[in-house]
């Protein structure tokens, strides 16, 4: 029973992490139609921000997280303005530009802080939570409420604010949105701010839990893409559902077998779901 409970909690934590990283990617794709491979590097910069501000300069953890969200969000806006803007709607150009950005960001971090050993980020909350015989560190547990809060805030923004509705309109039909006076450039800029900020948040919360190094984005960006593809590119609800699906799938298979098999199964599930529902788990088929 403890084993099942522990596995459930592990799955919930992994799903929350996947949701944080994938929702931002999905939002950017939905609005800008750009396959942003540099999303993993935004995640990495979020983790580095926490390493510097929290582990080295001893800022309060949540302040460091907030700084990571703002810094990475602004970095995303700059990337949109100076790199991706010319590639709006052109998936191939955007993809190639994002690969270039991956190298620029990785090399910049290597030049600034070296590569060497991983950057040690201590737990801000090392306390252990006992939940009915299941133990989990508070540091790890807070990823779950953090994901719920951030995703809810994003949901409210998209559903309740004028700017959020404009973003959704741009994602649904950019031409019609433009005719309604919604600036595609402004929508793209806000989408990158929010999407990159979410990646920064994911990196910030995972920094004390995972290894912080310049190449850490590689390992998560593939999973994020699998989640986004299955959830339906640009579909936030579908992305959250897919995060839950793959979070639990990865956890259960890694527990029973190993992470290599988990990655393989994730990809097979993605291919199988695409064959059955190419529009994603929560998308609507085009007629």
Q: How far is the CB of 7 from another protein (least distance, A)?
A: 6
Judged by beta carbon, residue 127 or residue 160, the one nearer another protein is 127
Task: Provide DSSP, 127-186.
Answer: PEEEETTEEEEHHHHTHHHHHHHHHHHHHHHHHHSHHHHHHHHHHH-HHHHHHTT--HHH
| Pairs from 270-279 (Cβ < 8 Å, separation ≥ 24) | 270/226, 270/229, 270/230, 273/230, 274/229, 274/230, 279/232
Rounded-to-integer distance, Cα 72 and Cα 195, Å: 9
In the complex, minimum distance from the CB of residue 103 to another protein, in angstroms, rounded to a whole number: 16
Nearest distance from C-beta of residue 152 to another protein, angstroms: 24
Task: Read off the DSSP letter of residue 209.
Answer: T
- Taking the least distance from each CB to another protein, the nearer of 90 and 219 is 219
Contact status, residue 226 vs residue 270, Cβ threshold 8 Å: yes
Residues pairing with 128 in the sheet: 137
Residue number with CB closer to another protein (123 or 271): 123
DSSP for 53-70?
Answer: IIIIT---HHHHHHHHHH
Query: Which residues have C-beta within 8 Å of that of residue 179, sequence separation ≥ 6?
Result: none
Q: Residue numbers of the site for another protein (CB under 8 A)?
A: 3, 6-7, 10, 13-14, 55, 114-118, 120-123, 126, 128, 130, 135-137, 139-140, 209-211, 213, 216, 219-220, 250-252, 254-256, 258-260, 263
Distance CA 202, CA 11 (A): 16
The distance of closest approach from Cβ of residue 78 to another protein in the complex, given in angstroms and rounded to an integer, is: 28
Q: Quick one: 180 or 267, whose CB is closer to another protein?
A: 267
User: What minimum distance in Å lies between the beta carbon of 87 and another protein?
Assistant: 30
Query: Least separation, in Å, of the C-beta of 106 and another protein?
Result: 12
Closer to another protein by Cβ: residue 9 or 75: 9
Q: How far is the CB of 277 from another protein (least distance, A)?
A: 28
CB nearer another protein, residue 27 or residue 144: 144
- Of 103 and 156, the one with the shorter C-beta distance to another protein is 103
- Are 80 and 97 a contacting pair, CB within 8 Å? no
Q: Which two tokens stand for residue 69?
A: 């969200």
CA neighbours closer than 13 Å in the CB half-sphere of residue 135: 3
């Amino acid at each position: 029973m403890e084993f099942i409970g522990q596995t459930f909690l592990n799955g919930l934590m992994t799903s929350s992490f996947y949701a944080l990283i994938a929702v931002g990617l999905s939002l950017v794709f939905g609005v800008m139609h750009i396959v942003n491979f540099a999303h993993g590097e935004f995640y990495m910069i979020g983790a580095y921000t926490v390493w510097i501000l929290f582990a080295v300069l001893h800022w309060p953890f949540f302040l460091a997280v907030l700084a990571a969200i703002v810094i990475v969000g602004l970095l995303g806006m700059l990337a949109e303005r100076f790199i991706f803007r010319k590639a709006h709607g052109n998936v191939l150009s955007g993809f190639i530009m994002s690969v270039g950005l991956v190298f620029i960001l990785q090399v910049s971090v290597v030049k600034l802080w070296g590569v060497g050993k991983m950057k040690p980020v201590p737990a801000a909350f090392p306390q252990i939570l006992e939940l009915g015989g299941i133990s989990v560190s508070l540091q790890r547990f807070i990823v779950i409420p953090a994901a719920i809060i951030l995703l809810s805030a994003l949901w409210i923004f998209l559903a309740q604010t004028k700017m959020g509705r404009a973003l959704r309109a741009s994602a649904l039909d950019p031409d019609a949105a433009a005719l309604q006076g919604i600036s595609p450039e402004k929508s793209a800029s806000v989408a990158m701010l929010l999407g990159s900020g979410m990646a920064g948040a994911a990196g910030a919360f995972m920094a004390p839990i995972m290894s912080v190094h310049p190449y850490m984005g590689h390992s998560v960006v593939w999973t994020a893409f699998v989640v986004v593809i299955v959830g339906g590119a640009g579909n936030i609800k579908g992305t959250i559902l897919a995060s839950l699906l793959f979070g639990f799938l990865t956890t259960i298979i890694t527990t029973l077998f190993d992470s290599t098999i988990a990655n393989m199964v994730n990809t097979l599930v993605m291919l199988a779901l695409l064959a059955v529902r190419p529009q994603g788990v929560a998308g609507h088929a085009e007629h």
